[in-house]
Structure 1
Amino acid sequence: MSRAGIFETVVGVIVIAVAAIFLFYAYQASGEEMSRGAYRIEAVFGRVDGIAIGSEVRIAGVKVGSVAGHSLDLDTYEAKLDLAVAAGVPIPEDSVAKIVSDGLLGGAYVSIEPGASDVMLAPGERIALTQGSVDLLGLAVQAFTANAGSGEAEKSEPSADGL
């Protein structure tokens, strides 16, 4: 084998090793590894903007699971999320699940605020108290149009002295 052939073989082995390391990292970061030893619970929201399969589930800012599935309830037109939570993390039945944004440009995640109940959710049960995502762009448009509308009303009213 020539020197060029040996060099190409070594470069090929290095490329394959780097690809394997990347795939291992991507697998761990995706939450698939965590969902193996997890139990599933449900939560129903009015809006789940920014949430996708694999989005994080956090308690007190610590990742405890991931979103394993989502579907639309055709009777109520609400979004149902299937949450995979680590087996060692019990969730009180009076907990609140919220869709929270990681910042203006960041992604969204499910935040669970544990309740005070001594009764824990069993696999397959549903978190009863939820708060969906907030449409920040919609709120900004409403605030802008409300301010613009009030400014026009003030300008169009005649003054008391007729000027």
Structure 2
Amino acid sequence: MKGLFRENAGEAIVGLLVVVLAGLFILFAWKHTGGGSYAGGYKVNALFPNASGVSVGTDVRVSGLKVGSVTGQKLDPQSFQVSVTLALDPSVKLPADSSASITSEGLLGSTFVSLTPGGSETLLKSGDTITDTQGAMDLMALIGQFINKPAAPTEGAADKAP
């Protein structure tokens, strides 16, 4: 057995290196897709009427800075709204009356959850629910309304009708 290892030592070391790099890649992917929520962080829920474009791993931002990620979503059977679970960085203390909205970085940008801090002295704690929310805008519906809207009549059109 020792002779076999001595003959293939270079291959064994390269194989070990590949396994270690694969493990580091998996750890990186786990942390950046919402699988590994912030250590010591707190989780809050937000109820949205429309959560299009939001999935597990979506960024949560305050003033454009990432402070957490989406770790889960489910349909609330009583209100038929989407309950989105947000894992937030423990160093970010948000007021209890904060609001949440689903927005994007631009016309073709990625979607994220934007939190706007309120003015309350009471802070959000783990398990709280944000109810002041604004869901995602349906861009295709807005474009369809614009394209399909009837043409406005011109001023002289009513006078010329027989």
Question: TM class, shorter-chain normalised?
Answer: 0.7 to 0.9
Partner of 1:52: 55
Give the paired residue count: 157
Percent identity between the aligned chains?
Answer: 34
Structure 1 range deviating more: 43-52 or 84-93: 84-93
**Residues 122-162 of structure 1: CA distance to partner in whole angstroms, max 9, x if unpaired?**
2212112100000111111111111xx327x77xx687186
Give runs of ≥4 in structure 1 deviating > 6 Å. none
Partner Cα distance (2:23, 2:121) in 1: 45
TM-score (norm 2): 0.81
CA apart distance, 1:103:
2.9
Do the aligned partners of 2:37 and 2:71 also contact (CA within 8 Å) in 1?
no
Determine which structure has the larger helix proportion and give its number: 1
Do the aligned partners of 2:74 and 2:82 also contact (CA within 8 Å) in 1?
yes
CA apart distance, 1:106:
3.1
Give the AA of the match of 1:68. T
Partner Cα distance (1:106, 1:4) in 2: 53
CA apart distance, 1:77:
1.3
TM-score (norm 1): 0.81
Partner of 1:145: 148
Secondary structure at the counterpart of residue 35 of structure 1:
coil
Gaps of 5+ in 2: none
**Residues 13-59 of structure 1: CA distance to partner in whole angstroms, max 9, x if unpaired?**
33223312312321232244443311121111100011112211111
